[in-house]
Structure 1
Amino acid sequence: MKSLIHISLAIALIGLLGQPARAALPDDVTRALRAGNIPESAVSLWVGAPDGGKPLWAHRSDTPRNPASVMKLLTSLASLELLGPAWTWKTDVLTRGTLSAGVLEGDLILRGGGDPFLTWDRLGGLLRDVRSRGVREIHGDILLDRSLFALPPHDPAAFDGRAVRAYNAAPDALAVNFNAITLRISPRADGGVDAVPTLPFAGLQVENSLRAQAGDGCPSWRDLVAPEITAKGESVNVRLPGRFPTACGEKMLNLAAPDPVLMANGVIRAIWQELGGRFTGHVRSATTPADASLLTSWQSPPLADALRETDKYSNNLMARQIFLSLALLDGAAPATPEAAATRLRAWMPTRGLDPQQWVIENGSGLSRQERSTAAQLGTLLRAAWMSPRMPEFMAAQPIIGIDGTMKKRLPGTAVAGRGYVKTGTLDGVKSAAGYLLDARGRWIAFAWLINHPNADAGDAALEALLTRLYAAE
């Protein structure tokens, strides 16, 4: 009986795939778009079986559009296949001078390897290792060798004018804690609002003037808090002049540090002091001196682990670091965005992708220039499905109603837990792409792109699409 059922399902699916692709959008999706004042001409959709065949839906699927963070899918698959899931990044610590009785008469050098996941606690583990190797006092400077990446000047306000937002933080060969400072914002019982740093940072000053805002909803609280961040010498000042809705409960506010060196300086000084170390010099950017000697090295988590953080939570800095790492293949250095894009484009035809249909800037989707089509994203999803790296690729994507950027989408419904979907959001852009297991037990791949001023109203249409695909009608 089970065999007959399987045969019947297979015949039904073959029959469905043999039909011409439907250009019209599903009716419930169309109704949701109309409710959001989004014209169908601003939408692209591609739906098909992940292992091949004709698409089931192809609505404006060859129209180039901005994919926002769905672009991370390209970077993810390319890195898994080119670098490998076990690829790690190495941060070296070297000394210059003499070390005797716990005193380094000279400089300590941290040579960045492009680690996208060098959080403050992992940096603390590295500095603890340095202490265990006999370094107690540093009578010199701490040098930060950031030369592995050759990047153009970074203006954090250039993208959208929101320089303090963590997604605008600069990539760097020695990026500490995603180049972001985190504050825990929470209302107090007496009506006040606390703002407490969650990472050690020497020279960090928080001017908290937040006022509690009563009400039932939790609106755009980051905008209401209105954070400002400035640097003076080796100190960073965070000013919070706005309001915080008490209904939001406890929130984490991530703020882009003004400069990667300033970020590293604050964290290194604080942790070194916590470890009982002494240091009176400066933290500055410099290349590794020729006469420096290796003291120890720190390995990052493997790429497969880093991608789960990158894609599930759409971490732009991590995606850009991974993208740049493509340029490091075969020992080439320094890495540049142009070299990374060249390496990516050379790989794309091997997976059936047409480089001419992609505009690549930084591989993260935080871009006004990056472009692709729904059909090309469908080809990418099919290439990933047939890749030996499919398990790692899929495991990195948010699960519908369960985690990451999909945690609040359709929780508690029949669709929850049955799909791996990467989402993207920019002003004027809503996108999603991934895989869904439908009610008949068949995997479906899809790509969905909206480029329109009213794109923010497109969430209901995406949920309608996922529900429709699950129903397998």
Structure 2
Amino acid sequence: MRQYWLLLITAYSLFFAQPSLAQELPANVIQALQKSKVPLNAVGVYVQEVGPSSAAAQAVLTWQADQAMQPASTMKLVTTYAALDMLGAAYRWKTSVWMTGQLDGEVLRGDLIVRGGGDPRLVLENFWLLLRQIRAQGIREIQGNLILDSSWMEPQYFDAAAFDGDPTRPYNVGPDALLVNFNALNLQLQKTEQGLQVTTLTPLALQTTVSVKLTKGACGTWRDKLTPSFSLVQQKVNLTLTGTYPTSCGTQTWLLQPYPLSHADYVGALFRQLWSELGGQFNGETVSGVVPPNAGLVTEMASAPLPDILRDMNKYSNNVMSRLVMLTIDKEANQAPANATRAAQIVQAWMNRNGISTTGLLLENGSGLSRVERISAAQMGQILHHAFDSAVMPELMSSLPVLGLDGTMKKRAINQAVAGHAHIKSGSLEGVRAIAGYVLAASGKRYVVVCLINHKNAEQGSVAQDELLEWVFEHG
């Protein structure tokens, strides 16, 4: 009898010494949700221990975990793990340069062709190095045209205004096989005695017409008071800026997409400026096309390896990078021009092969910048659990923002004990707040944590998500 009671007491102690399977949210999380006026039926939560001893462990906390919800940018985790698993951690993209005609001394009597290879991070510095490599091959003057080859992916119409009606926002940039500098223009706005002065920090020739009235008052949302209008005239970018600008704003920088200019327009303008700065000469046209059969290779440039790309993509939640990574999955699987629909189908089939449920799953572009994409907290949790047990776990985890320290999570939970002990991807859209990643609890155990909120007051729900992370850290 005494032995029976000892066993019962031991079992009782073990049960309450660890988080147990729960169907109710912690009190601190419920309180934060109530304060934020977010109903419990607008929340999906999944928490599960990961590690050697947890292979068959049940989730320690679930709440509406099987309900398909909008994940916002946490969907990038699906793209990340699928890419690491299918492409491999050593994968790189290649951008190549070709020429037609003859090189007569330093004069190319023919066309120069740049073939895009889908590099998600062909930033300004790398594009400059590519042009420097061209100059190193002895080409100074180009007498033909600059041909931009984007045949790496299928031609597609991309409406940058479709998502939220603000096509100049950098997050609305569409994918392109030859995406340079994220198709972004960096402007500096400065108040002077003569009015507002606009200078481009991006090295391309920009002609500006400024009709902006300087006003008094708080700086506030100064971007909303300005209207940029872009056009291309004789291969040069023109900007007309109208609106008002509070003098209290002082000097500001403004990153935007020069919509409705195409990717080719942008790359062409950038090429002209950088080529001139390198001592080159080019007076031809910039046109879209493909590398002809008789072209000769001039040079090529490899991207950084996939884990480096994913780190930038996830730390700073870069949507167009994620779109290109997703497209690459299809490109490599089919060895044909990349297609987003096929890429989504490949990822869904990959999840099924790995025993991860796809019921209710909807993939569109893999970035989360979508009103279509859906995933449940349990599905996201299963992906993270599966990834933790995989060979690419270090690459995936290191790509995520560290809570309270860097990336999009730098300012979250900074005064809480969990800060610095969690790798978390966040996501935000109007009516959506999401977190997903890993928490290292005070006990030394590690947990997958997912929390999706879909509600008009979701923005205020971020506090409840931070409380959930704290609860896992303290009680896990």
Q: Normalization by structure 1: what TM-score? A: 0.91
Which residue in 2 is equivalent to 1:161? 165
1 CA distance for matches of 2:400 and 2:167?
A: 27
Moved more, 94-103 or 51-60: 51-60
Could you tell me whether the CA contact under 8 Å between 1:398 and 1:406 is conserved in 2? yes
* Aligned residue identity for 1:22: A
Which residue in 1 is equivalent to 2:96? 92
Q: Structure 1's 251 and 203: CA in aligned 2 closer, same or farther, altered over 3 A?
A: closer
Gaps of 5+ in 2: 1-9
Could you tell me whether the CA contact under 8 Å between 1:186 and 1:193 is conserved in 2? yes
How far 1:246 moved relative to its partner? 4.2
| 1:311-353 C-alpha deviation (Å, 9 max, x unpaired) | 0100000000000000122561101012211221221123321
What is the correspondence of 1:51-450 to structure 2 with a 5 Å cutoff?
A: 51=51, 52=54, 53-185=57-189, 195-205=198-208, 207=210, 209=212, 211=214, 214-215=217-218, 219-224=220-225, 226-233=226-233, 234=235, 235-237=237-239, 239=241, 241-243=243-245, 246=248, 250-255=252-257, 257-258=259-260, 259-330=262-333, 332-450=335-453
**How many residues matched?**
458
Q: Structure 1's 206 and 416: CA in aligned 2 closer, same or farther, altered over 3 A?
A: farther
1 CA distance for matches of 2:451 and 2:321?
A: 24
How far 1:30 moved relative to its partner? 1.6
* Aligned residue identity for 1:16: Q
SS at match of 1:446: strand
Percent of pairs identical after alignment?
A: 38
| 1:103-138 C-alpha deviation (Å, 9 max, x unpaired) | 000100000100110112211100011001100000
Could you tell me whether the CA contact under 8 Å between 2:196 and 2:210 is conserved in 1? no
2 CA distance for matches of 1:203 and 1:153?
A: 26
How far 1:50 moved relative to its partner? 2.1
Q: Structure 1's 254 and 417: CA in aligned 2 closer, same or farther, altered over 3 A?
A: farther
How far 1:242 moved relative to its partner? 3.4
| 1:215-269 C-alpha deviation (Å, 9 max, x unpaired) | 4xx7444334x34232233324152523358479754433354311111111111
SS at match of 1:308: helix
Structure whose alpha-carbon radius of gyration is higher: 2
Q: Structure 1's 74 and 99: CA in aligned 2 closer, same or farther, altered over 3 A?
A: same
Q: Structure 1's 292 and 360: CA in aligned 2 closer, same or farther, altered over 3 A?
A: same
Could you tell me whether the CA contact under 8 Å between 1:164 and 1:227 is conserved in 2? no
* Aligned residue identity for 1:243: Y
Supply the RMSD in Å over aligned alpha carbons.
2.4
Could you tell me whether the CA contact under 8 Å between 2:215 and 2:244 is conserved in 1? no
Could you tell me whether the CA contact under 8 Å between 1:157 and 1:163 is conserved in 2? yes
2 CA distance for matches of 1:383 and 1:81?
A: 11
Gaps of 5+ in 1: 1-7
Which residue in 2 is equivalent to 1:29? 29
SS at match of 1:150: coil
